[in-house]
Amino acid sequence: MRTLPYRHALREAFDEELERDPNVYLMGEEVAEYNGAYKVTEGLWKKWGDKRIIDAPISEAGFIGLGIGSSMMGLRPVMELMFFSFAYVAMDQMMNNAATCRYMSGGLLNCPIVIRGPANGGTNVGATHSHCPENIFGNMPGLKVVSPATAYDAKGLMKTAIRDNDPVYFMENTLLYGIEGEVPENADLPDGELIIPLGVADVKREGTDVSLIAHGRCVLTALEAAEQLEAEHNINAEVVDIRSVRPLDEETILNSVKKTNRAVYIEENKPFCGVGAQVASTIQEKAFDYLDAPVMRVTSIDAPAFYSPPVEKMQLPHSAMIIEKVLAM
Amino acid sequence: MATTETADPTNFAAAPVNAELNAEQKIEMLSEMMRIRRFEQAALKYYNAGKMGGFLHLYIGQEAVAVGAVSLMGENDHVITAYRDHGHALAVGMGMDECMAELYGKITGCSQGKGGSMHFFAPDKNYWGGHGIVAGQTPLGAGLAFALKYKGLEGCAMCFLGDGAVNQGAYHEALNLAGLWDLPVIYVIENNGYSMGTSQKRSSAFKNCLAERADGYDIVWDLIDGHDLYEVRAKLQNAVERAHKESRPTVVEIATYRYYGHSVADANAKKYRTPEEIENYKNNFDPINLWRKRLVEEGVVSEEKADELDKAAKAEADASVKFAEESDFPTEEDITKHVYWEVDNGTDAGNTGKHFFH
């Protein structure tokens, strides 16, 4: 099968959806003429022109709010935040308007908007540019939160997100943009295109002894840890990629835990009220009798993101952290 | 602009958009203002009787702005406003029953009891709320205009805000986008002089007026006396035409006045203003009294007919109270409706994965 870098897979999703639906447009800082700060949208402006691919000024509250307003009128904006950390300057628009206007109108309107961008640490850009707000937005009813780990998932989930009639906050990762993964040609797919529903987890590695559950880049970290656990400790770990934080595929998580009887949640979030906290609560509530050990979590070390490159590496989840937890269970 | 090229530019009654009004349309606007006034008086009465929750931000005194602006709307013209939204809602054609029931928190309310006073919506009437956060609606207004332009429709978005909203960053970001991208949006600052309890001079840095800040964004601006319906219509029509024909934004600042506090819960409403100030306004600047007087002078309406209209408005408001009183409250099952479109519509997407975690 052909392989594509994660960013290229996203770009294909945009290109196909721009082709399919004239109401889809892309907007963000440097997405058009500059070809995207991380080159995710490279070439799209040249192909689709000023109307569909729009450079926004550095004005997140303004242009994100504008996108939300336009979505109420039936457009399907795909808004790039150069860093998802910049969501915090657009928070009123993202939390009060996109998330609640449908509710407060008693269902009279909806906001089919995608807000996307990288939400990760590990690039030595300090605390202001390293936020992972999956848990914050996942906490808000009305919003959907997606965090793909692979090129395949990035493309399939993005196409679904754009077609979804609710606001979807799509959290990518600058460290994944260059990673190649298998993405089939449309001609090789039975439906002629790659569509992955939100709310369906993917078992990325079958195992019997412990469930490593994760989202985003931590799925890759979990896979790496699983290989080491098998090679060095004869422990056969299953890796479950939830892919979307909300809606959440609880069934796949619980089935995995019922099989392995042990669970660790791995995420870049900080631990307090992280996604893993929600998942751990669900497991203890719905699979308590199957557990042979407490549900453990691997998160970033609980402090704002460290700048210094070697220390930031230590702060973020890495395979040694996971192995240590698993061995202690 | 063609609309104000009259012999006397301050003779707003002679502006084409007003000269073309027939008696029926003029009476309709009187009736609309009376309906808003009577609706809110009824709301105030029952709010004070403990029938409603939350806040009640009254529009009383500002009726000519919403009625004048909405009277200019065509098929592709849209409205969005802040939390003082009852006047705009009734002006666009929402019914008193659904609005009063919403204040009562009933299932028959316009938002089925989920929004309350600050969050009325009627997209089918081009009315996009009803927004609770000061200036939060201003980027949305730019977005409505953006969508019109994107779709190639000749229309505009009228985005209302109070004078207290002009110091929020979102408003300035929206102005920049509107100016930069030639958006057909009209920002209507309803200046009632008070940013909640803080007067304009204690809350805003400005040279001559608040609208003048639009100069910095190369946006045309204007000042309007909000007590005169003819003036509101004549001057706003210029902005509407600018949006329709040139796809350019406008900022207008409309001088108006609210009789009551910021909200009914504003305990200091009568402390930061003198009783004389309020009385003077009621006697000399009330937009309904002024319009009524004008129509009587023009021979369009008789005092008796005007009294009848007012009586009918009051009866309609009383009936809406009865409707609201007799309606049911939403139930616990309603709490998780209208959160997700896909769930409400029972689609595959709405049925995949867990959406709620209670």
**Are the C-beta atoms of residues A113 and A77 closer than 8 Å to each other?**
yes
Asked if A93 contacts A65 with a C-beta cutoff of 8 angstroms, the reply is yes
Residue A328, min C-alpha distance to chain B (Å): 30
B331-358 pLDDT, tens digit each: 999 999 999 999 999 999 999 999 999 9
CB A304 within 8 A of CB A127: yes
Q: Which of A16, A29, A60, A238 is catalytic?
A: A60
Q: Does B349 touch chain A (CB under 8 A)?
A: yes
Chain mean pLDDT for chain A = 98
pLDDT of residue B267: 64
Q: pLDDT tens across B213-249, in order?
A: 999 999 999 999 998 999 999 999 999 999 999 999 9
| Interface contact A166, partner B, CB < 8 A | yes
Structure confidence at residue A308 as a pLDDT band (50, 70, 90): very high
- Asked if pLDDT for residue A175 goes beyond 70, the answer is yes
pLDDT at B192: 86
Sign of CA dihedral B273, B277, B279, B282: negative
- Quick one: closest CA in A to B115, which residue? A104
Closest CB to A92 among B78, B136, B357: B136
Beta-carbon contacts of A45 under 8 Å, excluding residues fewer than 6 positions away, are A31, A32, A33, A35, A53
Average the pLDDT over B94-121 and give the result: 98
Quote the pLDDT of residue A119: 98
Helix axes B63-70, B287-297, angle to 10 degrees: 60
- Binned at pLDDT 50, 70 and 90, residue B270 comes out as low
Question: Residue B115 pLDDT more than 80?
Answer: yes
Question: What pLDDT shows up at residue B4?
Answer: 47
Q: pLDDT digit string (tens) for B122-162?
A: 999 999 999 999 999 999 999 999 999 999 999 999 999 99
Question: Are A59 and B341 inside 8 Å of each other by CB?
Answer: no
| Unique residue bearing structure tokens 């990035």 | A154
Per-residue model confidence (pLDDT) at position B284: 84
Mutate to test the interface with B, among A48, A73, A195 (most CBs of B within 10 A): A73
Residue B2 is predicted with a pLDDT of 47
Q: In the annotation, is A60 catalytic?
A: yes
User: Which of these is catalytic: A8, A129, A131, A215?
Assistant: A129
Identify the closest residue of chain B to A143 by CA–CA distance: B340
From A67, which residue of chain B is nearest by alpha-carbon distance?
Answer: B143
DSSP state string for B119-182: ---BGGGTEEEE--STTTHHHHHHHHHHHHHHHT---EEEEEEEGGGTTSHHHHHHHHHHHHTT
CB A205 within 8 Å of CB A223: yes
In chain B, what residues touch A59 (CB-CB under 8 Å)? 173, 176-177
pLDDT computed for residue B275 by the predictor: 80
Q: Is residue A13 pLDDT above 50, yes or no?
A: yes
Residue type, A300: S
Nearest CB neighbour to A109, from listed B121, B139, B347: B121
Higher pLDDT, B7 or A111: A111
Average pLDDT over residues B267-285: 75
How many residues does the structure list for chain A?
329
For chain B, say whether A2 makes contact (Cβ under 8 Å): no
Cβ-proximal residues to A274 (8 Å cutoff; 6+ apart), any chain: A135, A265, A267, A297, A299
Say which amino acid occupies A161.
A
pLDDT of residue B194: 83
Whether A268 is a known active-site residue: answer no
**Which chain B residues are closer than 8 Å to A93 by Cβ?**
136, 139-140, 170
d(CA A82, CA A101): 25
Q: What percentage of residues in chain A have a pLDDT greater than 90?
A: 100
Write out pLDDT tens, residues B163-189: 999 999 999 999 999 999 999 999 999
Helices and strands counted in chain B (H then E): 13, 8
Report the alpha-carbon distance of residue B119 to residue A106 in Å, rounded: 10
pLDDT at position B9? 76
What six digits make up the tokens of A89? Answer: 């300057």
**Cα A22–Cα A23–Cα A29 angle in degrees, nearest 5:** 110
Rg (CA), chain B: 21
B349 neighbors A197 (Cβ within 8 angstroms):
yes
B6, pLDDT greater than 60:
no
CB of B138 less than 8 A from some CB of A: yes
Which chain A residues are within 8 Å of B344, Cβ to Cβ?
Answer: 107
A-interface mutation test, from B127, B173, B327, most A Cβ less than 10 A away: B173
What is the model's pTM?
Answer: 0.96
* Helix residue spans in B181-249 (DSSP H): 200-203, 229-241
Is the pLDDT score of A155 beyond 60?
Answer: yes
Name which of A7-11, A286-290, B271-275 the model is least confident about: B271-275
pLDDT tens track for B53-68: 999 999 999 999 999 9
Q: Do A68 and B115 touch (CB under 8 A)?
A: no
For chain A, how are helix, strand and coil distributed in percent, rounded to 5? Answer: 40, 15, 40
Report the C-alpha gap between A96 and A76 in whole angstroms: 19
pLDDT at position B280: 82
The first and second tokens of residue B69, run together, are 């602006």
Say whether A266 sits in a helix, a strand or coil.
Answer: strand
What is the per-residue pLDDT for B195? 81
Q: What local confidence, expressed as pLDDT, does residue B269 receive?
A: 66
Instruction: Convert the pLDDT of each residue in A80-119 to its tens digit.
Output: 999 999 999 999 999 999 999 999 999 999 999 999 999 9
pLDDT value, residue B7? 60
Spatial CB neighbours of B340, under 8 Å, sequence gap ≥ 6: A102, A142, A144, A166, B350, B355
Please give the residue of chain A at the shortest CA–CA distance from B129. Answer: A105
B354–chain A nearest CA distance, Å: 5
> Any chain B CB within 8 A of the CB of A107?
yes
Q: Does residue B14 sit at the A interface (CB-CB below 8 Å)?
A: no
Smallest Cβ–Cβ distance between A106 and the set B139, B338, B342 belongs to B338
Cis peptide before A271 (omega within 30 of 0): no
Compute the Cα dihedral for B146, B148, B152, B155 and give only its sign. Answer: negative
Residues 204-243 of A with CB under 8 A from B: none
| Amino acid B281: pLDDT | 79
* Per-residue pLDDT tens digits for B8-45: 778 999 999 999 999 999 999 999 999 999 999 999 99
